[in-house]
Each structure stands twice: as structure tokens, then as C-alpha cells.
Amino acid sequence: MSRSVLIVDDDPFIRRLIATTLEDVAGFHIEEAGDGVEAVAAARDKQPAIVFLDIDMPRMNGIEACRELRSLDGKPTIVMLTAAGPEAEAEARAAGADLFLTKPFSPLDLLQLVDSMPS
Amino acid sequence: MEADLVARLEEKERQLERYAADLRETFKAERARSAQLRASYMATVRALANAVEARDAYTGHHAERVAAYGLELARTAALDIADDPQTEFGFLLHDVGKVAVPDAILFKPAPLTDEERVLMERHPVIGWEILRDIDFLGDAKLVVRHHHERWDGRGYPDSLAGDDIPPAARVFAVADTLDALTTDRPYRPAGSFADARAIIRAGAGRQFCPTSVAALETVSDERLEELRTGIS
């Protein structure tokens, strides 16, 4: 069974960019969500192994969504897409994020990050 | 609202710039790795060629001289093979199969018996077999196998004739004879380039490919001398 990756960002362009970058890399099945509410629903439904989570989104932002995801049964690796700086990272970590990718993110960092995760 | 739109566009722009930067760096790193790989291929080929030549003090640097002459002829004739690294690899490795020929035959100061000649003439196929599984040696292996073919089909091992002989092997035959005739041998001193040219010219269309012989005609003695002294 292929693992799935959930990409959560309110900007479809960023979602597409991450999805295209990860396509064919590790045989992941890719899911997308446009805000925190959709993300939590998708995570319940698909049990993704990895969630890429933007912070600044309508309806439910990434920090809240991260807390919600942590209360679910599945234990996805949550990668928070943050602005540069220690404060953004500290807030994301407090909400339960495992890893960070600073925007604008490097596609090579993105690939290495996924590559270094246990399969 | 408009300020938000501008901010989002700028974010996209920065993100694309990041992708472009990574692409550029990846390309540069890839180019450097590829150059490194090419250099290590060449070093490997030279090491192998030198190992073969180390046995024979007389022909010292023969492979390198043949490679230099051969590439010059290929360039002069404007052949595509001049720019293909496989050509130089093949020239340098042509005699690698001689590792399997006993010293008593390889260095025999008298004519070979029929049996000895059969053994000696196996070296192109043996060389080809030695290199067969080395992927980075592509067409170079064809030079190794066919470097003793003759234009008239009376060479070995496959009696190929004319255009059936791989282009690099055709050029090689001229370069090889040129070097053999212009270096000292146990049984005779080196001949001049002029003498070698006359002999090669006489073999055009029989032993040698006419185009390769014609290419030699356009390379001056001075240039050949320059190539020769550049090696030892």
C-alpha cells in the first residue's frame, strides 16, 4: 500500500509546486487541502504519513490544524511551512510540528527531507 | 485587498526564484560531477593502457602516440568520431588483449610460426572480451576488436571490409602503421615520416581506408613531429 502525503496550503500554486516536486520520488500518493478544516477532514479520511502544513490560512490556520491533527489517531510527520525566524518555529513546535520548511522553501531541502524519513 | 494580492504574488515570485536557484546549483554540481567522472574514466583507461605497455620497453608510449596521430587524422577528415571520447579510449586500449599473449611470442626476434601467429592474432578478440562488460567503454570496444581489419577484407578477426569496418578502426590502422614505421624496433631503426607516408599511400584501398590515407596527406611532418614530441 502506498503511503500518502497531505499538502495543506490555501495557495493552489504552492500545493501544485510541492506535489510536482514530490511526484515519483518515493511512490507517495498525494492529497491536497486548502485550509485547516479540509486538512483535518482529509487526515481523518486518508491517514497520511506526512502532512505539509502552511500556517497562514483562512477558516482554520496551520497552528490550530496542527493541534487538531495531533489529537487524531494517526501519527503523521507534520512539516510546518513557516516564515523565517525562531519565533515562527517555536510556535509551530509548541503546536506539535515535527519539522520545518522555511518559505520560500528549497525544492532540494524538500526532497531531502522526504528522503530522510523512514519508509 | 490589493495589498494582499501583491503580497501573494511576491511570495510566488520568491518561491519560483528559489526553485530557479536550486536548479542552477544542481546543474552546476551535476556538471562538476560529470567532469570528474570523465576524468576518472580517462585515468582508468590510461592506467590500463600503461599496464599493457609496461611489458614492452620498445613500444613505450605507442598507444599514446597512436591516439594522438589517430585523433589528428579524424579531426583533419572532419569525422564525428574526433569529438567522441570513445575514439581516444579505443585507440589507447587497442592492444589490451596482448596481456594474454606469452612473452615468447610477443618478443620473438624471428618470424612467428603459423601456430604462434594464430595465438598472436587472437589479441583483438581477447581485448574485446576483457572490456566487454565495462559499460562506459562503448564504441571503444569496436576499435579494440577491429583494429587489425583491412580495407580489402583480408584482416582479422572478422574479415570486415570497407565501410563495414568501424570508422575509428579505419583511422586507427593508418595511425598504427605510421607509428610502427617511425619508431625504433629491435630489428631496424626508425624510418622517416616521408618513408612511412610512401608505404601507407601504397596501401590505400588495400590495407587502408582511402579517406584516412588522404587525411594523413594533409597533416604536415612538422605537425606529426610536434604530436610525437608532445608525448614522450
Please say if the pLDDT value at position B186 is more than 80.
no
**Interchain pair B15, A108: CB under 8 A:** no
Enter the C-alpha cell of residue B196.
612511412
* Residue B108 annotated to the active site: no
Query: Which residues 5-34 of chain A have a CB within 8 Å of chain B?
Result: 11, 13-14, 17
A110 vs A26: CA distance, rounded Å: 12
Say what the pLDDT of residue A2 is: 63
Number of domains in chain B: 1
Residue B94: DSSP 8-state:
T
**Interchain pair A104, B22: CB under 8 A:** no
In this prediction, residues A76-95 reach a mean pLDDT of: 86
Residue B57: pLDDT band (50, 70, 90) is: low
Q: Are A31 and A80 in contact (CB under 8 A)?
A: no
The number of angstroms, rounded, from the C-alpha of B133 to the middle of its chain's C-alpha atoms is 18
Please say if the pLDDT value at position B58 is more than 80.
no
Enter the C-alpha cell of residue A63.
497552528
What pairs with residue A100 in β-bridges? A80
Please say if the pLDDT value at position B1 is more than 80.
no
Q: Are B49 and B63 in contact (CB under 8 A)?
A: yes
Q: What is the pLDDT of residues B135-155, one digit of tens each?
A: 999 999 999 999 999 999 999
**Interchain pair A11, B12: CB under 8 A:** yes
Chain A and chain B share a number of CB contacts under 8 A equal to 27
B83 vs B48: CA distance, rounded Å: 22
Looking at CA atoms only, how far is residue A71 from chain B in angstroms?
31
In this prediction, residues B33-41 reach a mean pLDDT of: 95
Please say if the pLDDT value at position B31 is more than 90.
yes
| Highest mean pLDDT of the ranges A10-24, B1-15, B28-42 | B28-42
Say what the pLDDT of residue B42 is: 95
User: Chain B residue with minimal CA distance to A13?
Assistant: B12
Please say if the pLDDT value at position A115 is more than 70.
yes
In this prediction, residues A10-15 reach a mean pLDDT of: 92
Enter the C-alpha cell of residue A21.
516536486
Of A11, A13, A104, nearest to B18 by CB-CB distance is A104
Alpha helix segments (H runs only) across chain B: 2-53, 62-76, 85-93, 103-106, 114-120, 123-131, 140-146, 167-181, 193-202, 210-217, 221-229
Strands (E) in A55-98, as ranges, are 77-82
Which residues in chain B touch residue A110, judged by CB atoms under 8 angstroms apart? none
Please say if the pLDDT value at position B67 is more than 80.
yes
Q: What is the pLDDT of residues A35-85, one digit of tens each?
A: 999 999 999 999 999 999 999 898 999 999 999 999 988 789 999 998 777
Q: Calculate what percentage of chain B has a pLDDT beyond 70.
A: 98
Enter the C-alpha cell of residue A68.
487538531
Q: What is the pLDDT of residues B85-98, one digit of tens each?
A: 999 999 999 999 99
Residue B195: pLDDT band (50, 70, 90) is: very high
Residue A106 contacts B, CB cutoff 8 Å: yes
Of A14, A103, A108, nearest to B26 by CB-CB distance is A108
Which of A1-15, B69-83, B110-124 shows the lowest per-residue confidence on average (mean pLDDT)? A1-15
For B56, the domain range is 2-229
B176 vs B198: CA distance, rounded Å: 15
Enter the ipTM.
0.84
Say what the pLDDT of residue A3 is: 81
Q: Are A58 and A77 in contact (CB under 8 A)?
A: no
Q: Of the residues B12, B28, B98, B108, which is catalytic?
A: B98
Q: Are A25 and A115 in contact (CB under 8 A)?
A: yes
In this prediction, residues B185-198 reach a mean pLDDT of: 89
CATH number of A4-111: 3.40.50.2300
A89 vs A82: CA distance, rounded Å: 7
Please say if the pLDDT value at position B130 is more than 90.
yes
Say what the pLDDT of residue B59 is: 66
Say what the pLDDT of residue A72 is: 87
In this prediction, residues B199-225 reach a mean pLDDT of: 96
Say what the pLDDT of residue A92 is: 85
Strands (E) in A1-119, as ranges, are 4-8, 29-33, 50-54, 77-82, 99-102
Say what the pLDDT of residue B120 is: 95
Residue B60: pLDDT band (50, 70, 90) is: confident
Q: Phi first, then psi: what are they for A82, rounded to 5°?
A: -115, 165
Say what the pLDDT of residue B70 is: 97
Enter the C-alpha cell of residue B137.
567503454
Q: Are B95 and B63 in contact (CB under 8 A)?
A: yes
CATH code of the domain covering residue B222: 1.10.3210.10
User: Chain B residue with minimal CA distance to A10?
Assistant: B8
Residue B55: pLDDT band (50, 70, 90) is: confident
